[in-house]
């Protein structure tokens, strides 16, 4: 008798909410979850990419700015109406924040980053915790980063927000464990895509160095596999936490980084 059934990694009958679901890791994970049988709700600020992703995967698009608590409450209420449940939350919405030394950083930009990456994440966590506690099951996946366990120059706001998400993950795992809700965190390394392209361009301007040099020194050459992480690779790691493959795992954090240690 096999100890692993094909059902273990399936999400059939489950509803998953993915914030920041219109591009990058969010979009890739939406596709992975849909392939595994989930009903997927993609949410974010821009309706057009959300509708494109939802149409392609047979899911649902709900616009929502996670930094607005009223919008978050309305989004979760609408998502819950689809199946009567919310089984999975990928708490993924966020932005890179200002790229500057601490001494020079624009504090308005710094606070704006925290309002999306941390306060917005908390708004989503509150709603998911209420729904999942009532139904006595669920899996929450917080999208942290390698910068959630090590500081990185020029990225104080992003680093602070991602460190905080690791702590919140551990808090919630203990709070929600008694009602059978698991809470874990993913920590991607350098993930290829438009977001990383924008960060490289901004770093190049801030540091006065070529993009290619920054890319090699800081992202690809320092990884054991000598390459970028693909968004779908993060999506497959999220599937592990979302599915019964990780049924005994909570309060955990996983690096998905091509070996940047």
Catalytic residues: 158
Phi/psi at 137 (5° precision): -170, 155
Which residue's structure tokens are 């698991």? Answer: 182
Phi/psi at 181 (5° precision): -110, 125
Alpha helices in the chain (DSSP H): 24-35, 47-57, 69-83, 107-114, 121-135, 156-176, 194-207, 211-215, 231-242
Two tokens at 229? Answer: 């992480």
**Nearest to residue 53, comparing CAs of 243, 235, 246?**
235
For 110, residues 6+ apart whose C-beta sits below 8 A from its C-beta are 97, 98, 156, 157
């Amino acid at each position: 008798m096999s100890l692993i059934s094909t059902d273990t990694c399936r999400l059939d009958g489950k509803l998953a909410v993915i914030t920041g679901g219109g591009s990058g890791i969010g979009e890739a994970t939406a596709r992975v979850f849909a392939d595994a049988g989930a009903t997927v709700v993609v949410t974010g600020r821009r309706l057009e990419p959300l509708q494109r992703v939802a149409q392609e995967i047979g899911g649902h698009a709900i616009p929502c700015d996670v930094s607005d608590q009223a919008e978050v409450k309305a989004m979760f209420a609408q998502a819950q109406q689809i199946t009567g449940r919310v089984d999975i939350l990928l708490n993924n919405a966020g932005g890179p924040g200002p790229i500057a030394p601490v001494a020079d950083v624009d504090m308005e930009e710094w606070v704006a980053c925290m309002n999306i990456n941390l306060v917005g994440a908390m708004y989503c966590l509150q709603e998911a915790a209420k729904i999942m506690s009532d139904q006595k099951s669920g899996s929450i996946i917080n999208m942290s980063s390698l910068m959630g366990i090590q500081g990185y120059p020029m990225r104080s706001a992003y680093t602070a927000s991602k460190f905080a998400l690791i702590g919140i993950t551990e808090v919630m795992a203990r709070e929600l464990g008694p009602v059978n809700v698991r809470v874990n965190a993913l920590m991607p390394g350098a993930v290829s895509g438009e977001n990383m392209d924008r960060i490289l361009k901004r770093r190049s301007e801030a540091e006065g160095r070529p993009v290619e040099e920054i890319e090699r020194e800081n992202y690809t050459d320092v990884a054991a596999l000598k390459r970028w992480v693909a968004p779908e690779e993060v999506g497959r790691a999220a599937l592990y936490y979302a599915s019964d493959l990780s049924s005994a795992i909570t309060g955990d954090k996983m690096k998905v980084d091509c070996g940047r240690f």
